[in-house]
Amino acid sequence: MKPKSGEPLANVLSSVTEKRLILASASPRRREILRLYGVPFEVRVSSAEPTLGQRKTPEATARHSAEAKALDIASRHPHRLVLGADTVVALGGQMLGKPRDVEEAWAMLRTLSGNQHQVYTAVVLAIGDGTAVHIVDLKTVSTDIWFRNLDEAAIEWYVSTGEPFDKAGAYGIQGEGGKLIAGISGSYYNVVGLPIGEVFRMLRRVGWRD
């Protein structure tokens, strides 16, 4: 199936066979947010790897990855609404992924210490009709985060919790990492991994009602 993007499809829910969304993500945090707000869903994890050109911005990187996940799953589950999402942490335009080891976690936390950085989450709603897949809606949400000045003892303590190692940017705001944060401007849930307010806006735009 070839993706088709553009304006949201008219009356898209008329062809949807089930109210439950398909979440095209393995993230436990995204699952927790959807459950917290009573959104019925099931998980289908995509193995799609987006092809990125040179010098992509953090926003474009998040969007391309979210689109690839959503379109992949929508192509394999026609007439189901599919939600794809991807989160990117960036400081001064430099993207910070998940640390590979203790040394990289230390380095990321030292870099973030005392600085402002951004978290971008792209959310994509897609559907397949059996012959093509369509992007119904998409949005990239950004949040500004300010870190406290961290001394070596604070970094050592946080790394010892083990929390940094499955988190982009080496911290989780919803866990012990919240103690490292001095301030936030924007959506908290965007930093966790899914801006739920934006997700509800997208769903209601196509007629979904909770």
Q: What is the mean pLDDT of residues 112-137?
A: 92
Residue 47, pLDDT score: 80
86 included as an active-site residue: yes
pLDDT digits (tens, 9 = 90+) for 145-159: 999 999 999 999 999
Pairwise CA distance, residues 21 & 140, whole Å = 19
Q: What is the mean pLDDT of residues 73-101?
A: 93
Kindly tell me if the per-residue pLDDT of 10 is higher than 70.
Answer: no
Residue 210, pLDDT score: 59
Residue 158, pLDDT score: 97
Q: Which of 72, 86, 129, 137 is catalytic?
A: 86
Kindly tell me if the per-residue pLDDT of 37 is higher than 90.
Answer: yes
Task: CATH number for 2-205: choose from 3.40.50.300, 3.40.225.10, 3.40.190.10, 3.90.950.10.
Answer: 3.90.950.10
Is residue 89 within 8 A of residue 119, CB to CB? The reply is yes
Average pLDDT of the chain, as a whole number:
89
DSSP 39: -
- For the chain, the domains span 2-205
Residue 1, pLDDT score: 46
Concatenate the DSSP letters of all residues of 98-147 into one string: --SSHHHHHHHHHHHTT-EEEEEEEEEEEEE-SSEEEEEEEEEEEEEEEE
Is residue 64 within 8 A of residue 52, CB to CB? The reply is yes
Residue 12, pLDDT score: 58
Residue 195, pLDDT score: 97
**Nearest-CA neighbor of 113 among 84, 150, 61, 85?**
150
Confidence of residue 144 (pLDDT cuts 50, 70, 90): very high
Which pair of structure tokens corresponds to residue 60? 């474009």
